[in-house]
């Protein structure tokens, strides 16, 4: 099965700075990598995803990069705002149905 | 379009009891997956249903079961509850057009506490 590792577990940045969260995966057959944001008391919210045939994808202040050779992918948040504070999860899909999640990164953006 | 809804939102049970959780997917979505979230283990896959059939199952004991109805709504059941079953149970729905990857959208979860 797939094993997804995520770093760091906690990240504190100042408002306006960039934040980077990194994940690695074990199964080279994995082909889809979503990122979720989870706020306190809520379910995970899909914020961006990338497929194995793409190297980079951007949506406003959020971008994701994928290096298939090294089997790692990263989330980049630019111009961070206090409302970006949340727990972020990376995940990989191997079979098409089962999401394998990283352990999460607690991001704190201080004003 | 309404999102994924889960009921109840909070539940308190005692050891040995059983519990049933309900999930209504986004309209038009035919795949429903269930996940367990705990501080120690993180998010773990329980099972996935499509057209009333279980297509995939995670590494959980047989006390955890589920089903899906013809309208795509799903329920999961946990029998003989243990303290370690205390968790946030999340349901996710997917359109599943038959491609190799499926965007999954999560509900708010059901917080189960076992005393």
Q: What is the pLDDT of residues A24-63, one digit of tens each?
A: 999 888 889 999 999 999 999 999 999 888 899 999 999 9
Do A89 and B43 lie within an 8 Å CB cutoff? yes
Name which of A31, A43, A97 is nearest B48 (Cβ-Cβ).
A97
> What are the tokens at A28?
């080279």
User: What is the rounded CA–CA span in Å between residue A97 and residue B2?
Assistant: 22
Of A8, A10, A43, A32, which is closest to residue A22 (Cα–Cα)? A8
Which residue in this structure is represented by tokens 């059901």? Answer: B110
- Beta-carbon contacts of B5 under 8 Å, excluding residues fewer than 6 positions away, are B23, B24, B107, B108
Check residue B78 and give its pLDDT: 98
**Of B66, B64, B55, residue with least CA distance to B96:** B55
Spatial contact of A99 and B34, defined as CB atoms under 8 Å apart = no
Rounded to the nearest angstrom, the minimum Cα separation between B32 and chain A is 9
pLDDT tens digits, residue range B29-52? 999 999 999 998 999 999 999 999
DSSP state at residue B63: T
Residue B67: asked if its preceding bond is cis (omega within 30°), the reply is no
**pLDDT digit string, tens, across residues B3-34:** 999 999 999 999 999 999 999 999 999 999 99
Give the pLDDT mean for A8-33.
Answer: 94
Percentage of chain A modeled with pLDDT above 90: 80
pLDDT exceeds cutoff 90 at A95: no
């Amino acid at each position: 099965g797939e094993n997804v590792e995520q770093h760091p577990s906690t990240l504190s940045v100042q408002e306006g700075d960039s934040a980077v969260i990194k994940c690695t995966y074990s199964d080279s057959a994995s082909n889809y990598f979503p990122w979720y944001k989870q706020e306190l008391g809520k379910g995970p919210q899909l914020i961006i995803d990338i497929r194995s045939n793409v190297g980079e994808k951007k949506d406003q202040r959020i971008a994701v990069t994928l290096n298939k050779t090294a089997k790692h992918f990263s989330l980049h948040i630019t111009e961070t705002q206090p409302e970006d504070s949340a727990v972020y999860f990376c995940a990989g899909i191997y079979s098409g149905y089962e999401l394998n999640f990283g352990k999460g990164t607690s991001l704190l953006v201080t004003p | 379009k309404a999102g994924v809804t889960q009921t109840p939102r909070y539940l308190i049970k005692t050891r040995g009891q059983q519990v049933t959780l309900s999930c209504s997917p986004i309209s038009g979505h035919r795949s429903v997956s269930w996940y367990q979230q705990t501080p120690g283990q993180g998010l773990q896959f329980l099972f996935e249903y499509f057209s009333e059939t279980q297509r995939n199952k995670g590494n959980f004991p047989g006390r955890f079961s589920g089903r899906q109805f013809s309208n795509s709504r799903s329920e999961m059941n946990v029998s003989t509850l243990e303290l370690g079953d205390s968790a946030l149970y999340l349901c996710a729905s997917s359109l599943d057009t038959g491609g190799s990857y499926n965007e999954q959208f999560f509900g708010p979860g059901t917080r189960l506490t076992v005393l």
